Chains A and B, each alone.
Chain A
C-alpha cells in the first residue's frame, strides 16, 4: 500500500466520519450556542456593570441627611430633598392625568372598538405613534401648547396679561410627562383586559347587566393587577424621563419647595444632568452625582421589580 493511497484512504475515512456522524452538528451547535450565549452575557453584563459602578460610586453618600437636606454651597454639599419632592409631585400630576385616560382608552380598544373601523385604527395608531415620538419633541409640544398657548391664554383672560400660568410650571410638566407615560399605561391595561375570559363577560350580560356595569364591575376588577402594573410602569417611566420636563417646568436650583401648580420644581433626572454637564466644578460634586444617580436608579429599579412581581402574580391567576 503506497503512502499516497494510505493518505487518501485516511482522508476518505475522516470524511465519511465527518459525514456519517453528528460531529458536524455538534460543532455547529456549539458555535451557535457560544455566539448566542455571549450576546446574552454581553447585554446582561453591560447592565450589571452599570448597576455595580453606580452603586459602588454612590452608596456611601446616600444617607438619611442626603435624602432630607437641600443642596448647599452651589450644590457641592447638602442633599437632594427638593429634587425628590419635585419628582414625587411631578409623578402625582402625571399619574392623575395619564392613568384614568390610559385605562379608559384601553377599555375602548379592547371592549368597544370595532377592529375594522377607521376610528379604531386611528386610536390604535395614535397610541402607537405617541409611544414612538421622541420625548424631546413631546417636550417641545409641551412648551408650545401648554406653556405658551394654554398658559398664555389663561393669563390673558383671567390675569390681564400678568405672567402666572404662561411660564414653565409643575402642572405643564406633569401634563407633558403624561403624554409620555400614557402609551405605557395603555399597553399594560390592554394586555390585562384582553386576558379577561370571555365567559365572565357573557355571564354578566346574561344576568342583565349593561355593558357599563360589566366593564366597571366585572372586567376592570378582574384586570386589577394589569391596571396596577400599568400604573407602576407609568410612574417608573415618568420618574426616569427628563427630556419632556426640560423646558416645561424643571428648574436648575430652587431655594424653596413648589407650593402650587404654577411653581417650577427640581427633578432628580434633571438634577443629575445639570450637575454632570453644567456644574462649576464637576469633579468636586462627583460623589453627590453618583449618589443622586443611585437614588434615581434605585427608585426606578424597585418600581420595575414591583411591576414584574405583580405581573407574575397576574399570570399565575390566569392559569390557575
Chain B
C-alpha cells in the first residue's frame, strides 16, 4: 500500500516535471517567434524589393540613374522613380520636428526632475503619457484642418501645407519619447550627487545645468536620435499635413513628400508585382535601413558618452 502511494507520488512528480519542461520549451519557442518576426519583416520587404532585379525592372524605367534622380513621377508614360526628393522631404520634416521637440522635451524633463513639486510631477508625467497615447491621425487632422491655416496667416507662407507644419505635428508625437527616456535617466542619478551640491550652497539652476543635465547626457542624446528616427518614419501626420509634393529643395516652407507618405498614398494604386510596387518596396527598405542605422547610432552614442564621461 505504502509503496503504491510513493509510486503515484513519483509519477505525479514526473508529470509535473514533464509539464514544466514542455512549458519551458513553449516559452522559449514564443520568445524565438519575436526574433523570427524581425527576420521575416526584413526578408519579406527585401523579397518584394528584389522584384526590381528578378523581373528586370532595373533594366527599364527603374534603373539606378532613374532611382537616384531628383524627380518622382511614378504615374506617367515615362515613369520616374527618383528617391532623392522623398528622402530630402523626410529629412526636412525630421529636422524641424527634432529641433522643436528636443529642447522642449529635455527642458520639461529637467523641470520635472529639479523644480517640480511632487504634485506637479505627478500631474505632468501622466499628461505626457496621454500625449504619447494620442493617435497620430488625430494630430494630423488637427494640423491639416486647424493649425495649417492659422500658421499660414501668422507667417505668411505661400503654401498652407509645408515641412514646418508637418514637423510641428511630428514634434508632438516625439516629445513623449525624449521626455520619458531623459526623465528616467535624470531620476536615476545618485541622490548624493545632488544633495552634496545643495550642501555646497548650489542653487537649483546649478543643479539643473551642472549636475542633472550632464549626468544624464548619454540618455538625452540617444533619446533625441531615437526620436529623430521616429520622426523620419512617421506616416499619418506627414501624409495629412505636408502637402505631398515631391520637391527636391531645402526650403522648409515648400510642400514636401516624405518616403513614408509616398508609400502610404501610392501602395493602394499599384498592381501587386508591377514596377511601381517593387519601387515602393525598395523605398520601404530604404526607410527600414535608415531606422536600423538610427538605432545603432543611438545605442552607440549612449555607450560612447557613457564610457567617455562615465555618466
A residues in contact (CB < 8 Å) with B: 22, 25-26, 28-29, 31-33, 35-40, 42-44, 46-47, 50, 53-54, 57, 101, 104-105, 107-109, 112-113, 119, 122-123, 126-130, 132-141, 143-145, 148-149, 179, 182, 210-213, 215, 233, 236-237, 239-243, 246-247, 269, 272-273, 276-277, 286, 289-290, 293, 296-297, 300-301, 303-305, 307-308
Contacts and interface: CB of A to CB of B under 8 A. Distances in A.
A272 B137 contact: yes
A119 B267 CA distance: 36
B193 interface: no
B107 interface: yes
A133 B27 CA distance: 24
A123 B27 CA distance: 12
Contacts of B221: none
A21 to B, nearest CB: 12
Interface of B: 16-17, 19-20, 23-24, 26-28, 30-35, 37-38, 40-41, 44-45, 47-48, 103-105, 107-108, 110-112, 114-115, 124, 126-131, 133-142, 144-146, 172, 175, 179, 203-206, 208-209, 226, 229-230, 232-236, 239-240, 260, 263-264, 267-268, 272, 280-281, 284, 287-288, 291-292, 294-295
Contacts of A144: 44-45, 47-48, 281
Interface of B is mostly: helix
A140 B284 contact: yes
Given A43-B104, A144-B47, 19 more contacts: A29-B205, A32-B205, A36-B108, A54-B142, A101-B33, A104-B27, A105-B31, A107-B27, A126-B34, A134-B291, A140-B281, A212-B23, A241-B136, A242-B137, A242-B236, A276-B141, A277-B239, A293-B142, A305-B130
Contacts of B239: 273, 277
Contact of A134 (B130, B139, B260, B267): B260
A313 B51 CA distance: 53
Contact of A109 (B31, B291, B295): B31
Interface of A is mostly: helix
A57 B30 CA distance: 46
Nearest to A143: B267
